Structure formats: C-alpha cells, structure tokens
Amino acid sequence: MSKRDKQTADLEFVAGNGLIHRRMFLTQGAAMAGSLGLLSATPSHAEPLEIPPWMKAPGSHMSAYGQRSRYEDSVQRVVGGTPGVVGSGVSFTPIEKLHGTITPNSLHFERHHSGVPDIDPDGHQLLLHGLVDRPLVFSMDALMRYPTVTRIQFLECSGNSGTNLGPQAQQAPAGVLHGLMSCSEWTGVPLSILLEEAGVRRGANWVLAEGADAAGMSRSIPLEKMMDDAIIALYQNGERLRPENGYPMRLFLPGYEGNMSVKWLRRLKVNREPTMTRDETSHYTDVMLGGKALILTFPMGVKSLITSPSTGLNLTEPGRYEITGIAWSGAGKIARVEVSADGGNTWAEAALTEPVLSKSFTRFRMAWQWDGGPAVLMSRAIDESGSVQPTREALTREFGERRNYHNNGIQVWSVAARTGEVTNVYA
C-alpha cells in the first residue's frame, strides 16, 4: 500500500468526497492514531533541547488587566461605516479566527445608529411606565440588587449575511460575510420581575424599549416575550457590559434579531400596540416578492456556517482536515448539523460539542480526508422545532431579490483542486 492508502484504510467514510464518521471525535484518539502522522515531524534530536531566547531571561511581570499577545494583533473586527452618517455602521466579528463558542468581549460584533455613548452609570436610570399600576424608576445601584439569571446565548444582527443576498458571490473572510453575530454568557435581571413589580394592566400587549444613544434607538417588543426569557443584561462573559454592548445596561431578547435587544436601555413603556418607530418601519423590514414588506419579524432562523475551511483559510496539501463551524437557532436548541463535501449530493452528520444550549452557538466538527480534488463544502442545521436551514436558492424563490434581512441560507465554499484555494460561491 502507498503511504496515503495506509492512512485511509482504517477510516469509516460516511459521505462523498472524503467525509469521515463523527465517531472519530467521540473515541478521542484511537481512531485517529496512525493516520495523522503527516502533520508532525520526526525530531532531528531529542535532548538537549535548544534553549529559545525567551527562556534566557525572566519574562514580564503580572498585570492588573491583561492584554493579548502582540503576535495576535491582526485578529480584529472589520469596521464598516455608513457613508455620511457619523457613528452609524457595523463591525464584524472575525469568526474564522476564533474557536469554541464564546466570543471575546473585545471582538463582539457592533451595530450602532449614532455611535457608542460614554455613559456614567451614576447618571443613568431606567424608567418603566405606560400601562402599569405603579410607574417605576431604577437607578443602577437599585437594579444591581435584583435577582439575576445567567445564560450563554447568541446575538445576531438581522442584517447578518446580507452580502450573500447580492447578485454575485463576494470574496471576503467568513467574518465579513457572516460576522454580525456573536455568543456570550449574559447575566441580568429577568424582565418578568420588574413588570410584575410595576403591575401590568389589562389590554397591554407591547413594550416600547428606548436606548440612551443619540439616535434614541427604539423598538416594540411583544409583552409575551418580555415575560418569557427577556432580561436586562448587566454582565457579559463575567465582567460588566462593554460600552459597545450597552453599558451600563441593555435589553437582551434571546433568539430575536439583535436590533431589538436595545442597548443603553433607559425606558420601557407598556402599550396596547406596537409604536411603529422609525427603526421598525424604515429599517429591519423584509421586502417581499411584489413589493410588500413584512414588519415586526423577530426570531432569527435556524442557521449554520463552516468557519474553517473558509475564504482565506486555504488547504495546504492533501490529507486530513477538521471541518468546523457553528450552528444556532432563534427557536431553541440545534438538533443536528449535516455537512456535505460534494455540493449537497451526499450529507453526513457532524459531531456537536456538548452542552448543546438553547438559542446559543453550537460548535460542530467533521473529519475530512481531502484527496486534492475539487470539493464543495456546505453545512445545514436542523433545530429542535424541526426547521431545516434552507438553500440560498430556496430563499430567493420565496422572497425575491430585494430582501436585506434574515438571510439564513446555506453558505457554500468551493475548494479548488490542487491549490486548495477556498472561495465563496452560489451553488
């Protein structure tokens, strides 16, 4: 047998073009042994090891607030502004350079309508009023005394993946195509507690949420959602919220389009009807076939994305690769992620990282033997409600070409034969 034949003889292929059974990940080692030898090398000598320069003198001291290695400085959010509008724009999480499920706070995506306000928490308060028995106002100190809950959940801008709605597939890193989403551990006060304390009156169905940014960004939220799993988030990944994530407090609505989780929250008004604010009529509406538009479309659809390989992360030589990515759904837990290496002709089930949490990122992994030929990589997620991530083609057939939001279509990566170059394609 040739070296490559030996490598692949004991593998359990489960779908076309080299996909390997996820059992490989479950056995942790045994099934991988012997077949990954290409990646490591035989040392020229074992001892004594060469002493690198950084072992020849003491390193730097402990620090009060750590920073990352200077060798990682290139891992950054990509900032995109709206021409002519000060403080309006986005920054994209570089998802192709991250791993696991948590997004570091410094790299959480941004979408602002009038920049990031510099709020003094001692001068900030939250008003709860409208159709309630007792209007209430909460200082920061008061709110910090309330009972809290902690959950790991994603946040996704409803405009995420909008580039792929255009007529031509653009070549950009996965983060620029899909990085208006992040996942954090959020800790905050359940809205239900505050609403019960105020006493919601009969006839109330909606709550207006208003931010303390210069745009006064405002959205209407169903009262039912507010009483279910909505929180006033105070902490993000253990520390207090970052300014660009709503410091000192933000609304957080698990699974709903990001814009509704109003940052720098200063007011909640209980109403009978949605307020029809600028932000829910001029933006964040879905233009349909025939020109009509859907408004007040809240939950984010079931979605997944291969982050590696992806544009810019080219394959270097034939051999074993880990295909990995993330899946999420606004409807609950991810039930299954399937991966194809032959453009959707055959699919195999990926391994999911435990614990699989509701309305959270789920990391999936698939072992793959690339033979050096052409490959077309796709992933599709299925959530616990049974919803299946659609193809771009199916979405276009249903909604037409003018939609700007809620694109949960399958991302297709083409791998070129021999060169291993990865490109974004519409398949």
Q: Which of residues 152-181 bind a copy of itself (CB under 8 A)?
A: none
Answer yes or no whether residue 185 interacts with a copy of itself by CB under 8 A.
yes
Taking Cα atoms as reference points, which of 105, 117, 110, 254 lies closest to residue 191? 254
For a copy of itself, the binding residues in 292-331 under the rule CB under 8 A are 320-322, 324
In whole angstroms, what is the distance from residue 261 CA to residue 281 CA? 17
Answer yes or no whether residue 96 interacts with a copy of itself by CB under 8 A.
no
From 17, 19, 96, 101, residue interacting with a copy of itself (rule: CB under 8 A)? 101
- Please say which residue, 61 or 202, places its beta carbon nearer to a copy of itself: 61
Answer yes or no whether residue 403 interacts with a copy of itself by CB under 8 A.
no
Answer yes or no whether residue 4 interacts with a copy of itself by CB under 8 A.
no
Torsion, Cα 157 163 166 170, to 10 degrees, reads -170
Piece in contact with a copy of itself (CB under 8 A), picked from 3-11, 66-74, 156-164, 378-386: 66-74
- Please say which residue, 248 or 255, places its beta carbon nearer to a copy of itself: 248
Answer yes or no whether residue 48 interacts with a copy of itself by CB under 8 A.
no
Q: Which amino acid is at 235?
A: Y
Answer yes or no whether residue 266 interacts with a copy of itself by CB under 8 A.
yes
Piece in contact with a copy of itself (CB under 8 A), picked from 4-12, 28-36, 170-178, 408-416: 28-36
Piece in contact with a copy of itself (CB under 8 A), picked from 2-10, 112-120, 288-296, 388-396: 112-120
Q: Which amino acid is at 353?
A: T
In whole angstroms, what is the distance from residue 358 CA to residue 362 CA? 9
CB of 161 to a copy of itself, least distance (A): 19
For a copy of itself, the binding residues in 368-397 under the rule CB under 8 A are none
For a copy of itself, the binding residues in 126-145 under the rule CB under 8 A are 127-129, 134-139, 142-143, 145
In whole angstroms, what is the distance from residue 30 CA to residue 20 CA? 14
For a copy of itself, the binding residues in 207-246 under the rule CB under 8 A are 212-214, 216, 227, 234-235, 237-240, 242-244
Answer yes or no whether residue 84 interacts with a copy of itself by CB under 8 A.
no
CB of 254 to a copy of itself, least distance (A): 13
CB of 216 to a copy of itself, least distance (A): 7
Exposure class string for 374-411: b at 16+ Cβ within 10 A, else e: ebbbbbbbbbeeebebbbbeebbeebeeebebbbbbbb
Measured in Å, how far apart are the chain's first and last C-alpha atoms?
37
Contact 251, 295 (CB under 8 A): no
Query: How many residues at the interface with a copy of itself, by CB under 8 A?
Result: 128
Contact 300, 417 (CB under 8 A): no
In sequence order, which residues have a C-beta less than 8 Å from that of residue 33 and are 6 or more positions away?
none
Q: Which amino acid is at 232?
A: I
Q: How many CA atoms lie within 13 A of 176 on its CB side?
A: 14
Answer yes or no whether residue 192 interacts with a copy of itself by CB under 8 A.
yes
